Amino acid sequence: MDVLCASLRKLILSPALTDESSVNVRDIADALPVARTNKLAILFKRSIGSEAALEVQKLFAEDLQKIAFLNSKILQIIQAANRALHDAGIRHAFYKGPLQQKILYGDYYAKPCLDADILVSPKDFKAARGALLDAGFRIPDGYSGLWWTFFLGEQPLLAPGQLYSVDLHHRLQQPGSPAPRHIIEFLDDVTPVPLGSQSVPTIGLRGIAMVAAMNLVKAVYHREPTGGHALDVLVAMSKMTADGIEETQAQARVQGLAGTLSFAAELAAEVFGVSNPLGRDAYKLPLDVARARQLIFAGEGQPLQRRKLLVHLCDRPLIDAPIEAIRWIMSEAALHSSPLTGKPSNSKAA
């Protein structure tokens, strides 16, 4: 993991830094499976440098082909969904996926994607779902009902003639973790990303950092690799000014996500060996660096107890922790009472 962290650290500190001579081909080959598991293979390749040896380039050939195919499909789906929602006059914003990669890493092909994620306000959720259905999207069998639309706050929809989906959200976190209190404020801070002839509304840097932090927490709960989200947290904040970071922290406090952002930033900083962008001693992790790396990159090691971590994450532990615990219990009951309901993977592509 050392060579992977050292290489990717350049993307956080300075993308211009490259030192091909310091990276051994055998070390790269050993680190590549971990990079792939964490959706970081392409970024790993870029951090090694464009003039790397031919044998190194060959190691990544499969990843380059895969991401070109997958993300091109998702970009087509984004165009179709954006057009449908725009024509229906529904306010929306895309997040994660290739549009976020464009903002963070400069193009649409930094990490593999399997679906597109759209956020709308709760009041527009039914209308947005209707607009997408009218445009030819369809709800896959087993992916409808109360557990999806109420507890998760989302609706997966398969694109016309595709095996890939759009996930339409009016919530941004699964039960059992602090969720944003004011969804509409994510829609108030968007960045237009050019895509063909369209300009697609996409959650901006502050929202990217908070969403990546939420996804990191979700993966930690489920003991799934989450290096891609950890890197996103740090790269998003590396692109902010000092005032921008303060604004992000302030927004996180308004959303009830200050603990989530602090935990994710400190954990990611420890793993990649950089300073916490939120400041020194911003947060005390309940685990050491070696355990943190195992947890982030492999989803292995001694798990963090859900109850204790929830208390760490909640900005108002005495109020929010019991509410989230009850919401998680109710969600699990709803899930297991509907055996045909599909359950999403928390490690799906970013």
- Residues 234-250 have pLDDT tens digits of 999 999 999 999 999 99
- Residues 257-300 have pLDDT tens digits of 999 999 999 999 989 999 999 987 666 776 777 788 888 898 76
Which amino acid makes up residue 142? G
- Residues 73-127 have pLDDT tens digits of 999 999 999 999 999 999 999 999 999 999 999 999 999 999 999 999 999 999 9
What are the CB-based long-range contacts (under 8 Å, 24+) for 27-32? 27/3, 28/3, 28/56, 28/59, 29/59, 30/3, 31/1, 31/3, 31/4, 32/59, 32/60
- Residues 301-343 have pLDDT tens digits of 555 677 778 888 888 888 888 888 888 888 887 777 755 455 5
Which residues have CB under 8 Å from 232's CB, separation 6+?
100, 104, 208, 209, 212, 350
Check residue 331 and give its pLDDT: 83
Check residue 51 and give its pLDDT: 53
CA dist 317 and 327 (Å) reads 15
Check residue 310 and give its pLDDT: 83
Residue 31 has pLDDT above 70, yes or no: yes
Query: To the nearest whole number, what is the mean pLDDT of the chain?
Result: 87
Number of residues assigned to the chain = 350
Which residues have CB under 8 Å from 14's CB, separation 6+?
none
Residue 157 has pLDDT above 80, yes or no: yes
Q: How sure is the predictor about 53, in pLDDT bands with cuts at 50, 70 and 90? A: low
If we measure between CA atoms, which residue out of 241, 229, 297, 239 comes closest to residue 265?
229
The strand pair at 165-169 and 190-195 is best described as unpaired
Give Dmax (Cα) for the chain: 57
Contact 166, 142 (CB under 8 A): no
CA dist 235 and 203 (Å) reads 15
Contact 342, 193 (CB under 8 A): no
Check residue 301 and give its pLDDT: 59
- Which helix (H) or strand (E) is 234 found in, with range? helix 227-238
Residue with the two structure tokens 């445009």: 135
Q: How sure is the predictor about 23, in pLDDT bands with cuts at 50, 70 and 90? A: low
- Residues 169-205 have pLDDT tens digits of 999 988 888 999 999 999 999 999 999 899 999 999 9
pTM for this structure?
A: 0.90
- For the CA atoms of 148, 149, 151, 154, what is the dihedral angle to 10 degrees? 80
What three-state secondary structure class fits 12? helix
